[in-house]
Amino acid sequence: MHVLLVGLGNMGNKYFWKLEELGEKLVLCDIDPNKEKKPYPFYCHFGDIKEELKAVIVAVDPKEHVGIAQEFLKKGIPLLLEKPPALSSKEFDRIKDYPNLYISEVESYSVCVDFLQRPKKFIKIERFGRAKGYISPLWDLAWHDLYLLQRISKNIVLRDLRIEKNIWTLEGYIDGVPFSLSVAWEHPEPRRVWNIDDKLMLDFGNERVYEDQRVVKEEKRDKLKLMLQDFLRGTYDPQSVERAYINLRILESLS
């Protein structure tokens, strides 16, 4: 049986190389015929696919996510959907109750996640990326940190959003303790760092954990590969859908 990959853009290509590394039997789909990758079966429309599928991964423009995903979810095929899974919680309602749906949470496979803890004073988060996404830095980048915050507590309250010099900063409270989350596209100094109480530093970019400025854990992990392995063997976290729904509600509250 085959694994279908829908979308061969930036993220889709990352999925492709990992799936090939894992030795999966692939079927590829993209609206651009120039993205065909021989010798794999290739289609420009997902409705034309003839191969028997064991799993589907969708990594296209988010505005197309729900419509494509629903076609496979209603057939009972396990489906991993790239973030954000929809452009609104109302749209996500169409698919969120399918038991075979999973939402990409690649940062959940970081060594830093093992050290997440409730802050006593504050959390300061910076996620500055090199590239540009589909919607905004909040939907593209802050998405990761919002689902990670939910692993500490779902009691997340937003207070303010500021945009200064292309840096978007969310301020709020988690369990009543203040946090700030700053994100930016195309930043000259990319980084993905959490500062918890000036005591614990989680460097998601370098897979390194500092406590009192001393490295206490460093472990290079292939996060995308680990996530795909979990998905393909049926051990992926089903709570990813609930966290995605909460993320959508949080982001919607800012508009």
pTM (predicted TM-score):
0.95
197 touches 119 (CB < 8 A): yes
Q: Verify that 90 and 157 share a domain, yes or no.
A: no
C-alpha dist (Å) from residue 103 to 57, 79, 171: 10, 8, 25
Q: Verify that 101 and 152 share a domain, yes or no.
A: no
CATH number, domain with residue 28:
3.40.50.720
The tokens for 240 are 């990813």
Domain containing 40 equals 2-107+225-238
Residue 250 counted as domain residue: no
Q: Verify that 72 and 158 share a domain, yes or no.
A: no
Residue 117 counted as domain residue: yes
Q: Verify that 124 and 167 share a domain, yes or no.
A: yes
The strand pair at 26-29 and 42-43 is best described as parallel
Residue 151 counted as domain residue: yes
Q: Verify that 51 and 86 share a domain, yes or no.
A: yes
Q: What is the pLDDT of residue 224?
A: 98
Q: Verify that 121 and 213 share a domain, yes or no.
A: yes
Q: Verify that 139 and 182 share a domain, yes or no.
A: yes
C-alpha dist (Å) from residue 101 to 17, 62, 85, 184: 22, 15, 10, 29
Q: Verify that 19 and 80 share a domain, yes or no.
A: yes
Q: What is the pLDDT of residue 208?
A: 97
- When divided into structural domains, the chain yields a total of 2
Q: Verify that 101 and 115 share a domain, yes or no.
A: no
* pLDDT tens by residue, the chain, 255 residues: 999 999 999 999 999 999 999 999 999 999 999 999 999 999 999 999 999 999 999 999 999 999 999 999 999 999 999 999 999 999 999 999 999 999 999 999 999 999 999 999 999 999 999 988 888 999 999 999 999 999 999 999 999 999 998 999 999 999 999 999 999 999 999 999 999 999 999 999 999 999 999 999 999 999 999 999 999 999 999 999 999 999 999 999 887
Residue 185 counted as domain residue: yes
Give strand pairing partners of 81: 58, 103
CATH number, domain with residue 121:
3.30.360.10
Residue 248 counted as domain residue: no
Q: What is the pLDDT of residue 132?
A: 85
Residue 155 counted as domain residue: yes
Q: Which residues have C-beta within 8 Å of that of residue 159, sequence separation ≥ 6?
A: 171, 172, 173
